[in-house]
Chains A and B, each alone.
Chain A
Amino acid sequence: MSKFKYLIEGIVKNNPTFVLVLGMCPTLATTTSAMNGMGMGAATMAVLICSNMVISLLAPIIPDKVRIPCYIVVIAAFVTVVQFVMQAFTPALYETLGIFIPLIVVNCIVLGRAEAFANKHSVLESALDGIGIGIGFTIALTCIGLVREVLGNLSVFDHKFASSDGMLVFVLAPGAFLVLGYLMVIFNKIKGKKNA
């Protein structure tokens, strides 16, 4: 039960997007629709779980001075694996996400969790943390994607509910900043009420 809290913490209390504000580039760039956001979240989660586990195993034997390059190599290896898997099984999604799949390497969430959590916890705890943070990230990305899709394209998970065009600006670049900004305001408001 006590281990279970690592999983829950990642989703709400340590939510990577709304609380820690990490990994903003993929958050803004890939959330043009709920489906794309979810795909990006899932890819990041896969890398995060694997790298967290391997790093927690390797942490005792990696010399402290060269730990960051070592973590980066581990993460880059898993990113390459994910890249291959997506290219084979979801080629359309792979095309849409494009450069942002290799860029998971420099996503601060993955390296941040390796440095702040995985290197001082057991394999099981690190895996649970990876799953928790991964789910938190995926939920955040899906929410942003959903809002942008509904406003910009009048569709939900690629199913159009009205035939007219939406407000295109929400699918384009400025919409990403605005939607994330306002979602953060709502998140802060709810959290503020809970604490009060």
Chain B
Amino acid sequence: MEYIIIIITAVFVNNVVLSQFLGICPFLGVSKKISTAFGMSLALVLVMGLATLVTYLIQNYVLINTWFGEKMDITFMQTIVFILVIAALVQMVEIILKKINPTLYQALGIFLPLITTNCAVLGAALIVVTKQFSFGAEPHMLNLAESVVYSMSLAVGFGVAIILFAGMREQMELSNVPKSLKGTPIALITAGLLALAFMGFQGIV
């Protein structure tokens, strides 16, 4: 039951793009066609799940641990360590995917380098290790399984938002937009209206 609440919260209520403002760059950048938007979100689900798994373990078993007989808390190194690990991980996923599943690599390959600088990945990794969540129970730090489910659901939320948005933009290509609104401004205003719609989910959990 708790996992269902986590998934609904992450996908709709705390939608990563429309209410937490993470991953806006790919949201605006690769949303011109539904098919690319779909590929991007699929790659993101994979990478965010893996990245959270690895960074969670690093946070709890490397940064906070007993080293040389002394209890150490070097969480101030979080930012540097996480971004390097994520960058290396994305590179590794790319290489492995190329080897074991060339068709999937064809579909997702071009999106993987972009994902390193997607703030949703680092953002989710930082959120799950620093914030307390309640999800119907007492406020608590998430455990490993909950963290991975939460951040993969965030990526699914990204997918829902970007696919809806890409559909709207495909339609917008055909309509007559005033000159100064063309391009990014009209996209932002559309995203604003979409965010307004997503506000309706607030308070359902």
Contacts and interface: CB of A to CB of B under 8 A. Distances in A.
Interface string B1-25: 0000000000000000011111111
Contacts, number: 111
A73 B79 CA distance: 10
Interface in B16-36: 18-25, 28
Interface in A154-196: 169, 172-178, 180-182, 184-185, 188-189, 192
A138 B195 CA distance: 25
Interface in A62-101: 68-69, 72-73, 76-77, 79-80, 83-84, 99
**In which size bucket is the chain B interface?**
35 or more
Contacts of A176: 21, 192, 195
A124 interface: no
Contacts of A72: 83-84, 87
Interface in A1-46: 21-22, 24-26, 28-29
Query: Secondary structure of the A side of the interface?
Result: helix
A57 interface: no
B185 A69 contact: no
**In which size bucket is the chain A interface?**
35 or more
A111 interface: yes
Nearest to A192: B180
Contacts of B20: 29
Contacts of B191: 177, 181
B28 A21 contact: yes
B185 A173 contact: no
Nearest to B91: A69
The listed residue with most B CB atoms (<10 A of its CB), out of A26, A77, A181, A189, is A181
A189 to B, nearest CB: 5
Given A76-B83, A106-B118, A25 B23 contact: yes
Nearest to B27: A24
Contacts of A80: 76-77, 79-80
B189 A181 contact: yes
Contact of A25 (B22, B76, B87, B188): B22
Contacts of B123: 99, 103
A92 to B, nearest CB: 18
A71 B127 CA distance: 24
A193 to B, nearest CB: 10
Given A102-B126, A172-B199, A25 B24 contact: yes
Given A25-B23, A176-B21, A192-B180, A184 B192 contact: no
B126 A99 contact: yes
Interface of B: 18-25, 28, 76-80, 83-84, 87, 117-119, 122-123, 126-127, 130, 179-181, 184-189, 191-193, 195-196, 198-199
Q: Which 8 A-B pairs have the closest CB atoms?
A: A177-B192, A181-B188, A29-B21, A178-B192, A24-B24, A181-B189, A174-B195, A76-B80
